[in-house]
Amino acid sequence: MLAKNGIPEMEELSFRIPPKERLAKGPVVMVECFQRIPCNPCAKACKSGAITLGDDINNLPEVDYEKCTGCALCVSKCPGLAIFIIDETYSEKEATVSLPFEFLPLPAEGDEVDVLDRSGNVVGKGRVLKVRNGKYEDKTPVITVAVPKELSMVVRNIRVGGAK
- Taking the domains of the chain in order of start, what are their residue ranges? 2-159
pTM: 0.93
Q: Which helix (H) or strand (E) holds 4?
A: helix 2-5
What is the residue-level pLDDT of the chain in tens, covering all 164 positions? 666 777 887 788 888 999 999 999 999 999 999 989 999 999 999 999 999 999 999 999 999 999 999 999 999 999 999 999 999 999 999 999 999 999 999 999 999 999 999 999 999 999 999 999 999 898 999 999 999 999 999 999 999 986 54
User: Which residues are CB-neighbours of 36 under 8 A, at least 6 positions away?
Assistant: 58, 59, 60
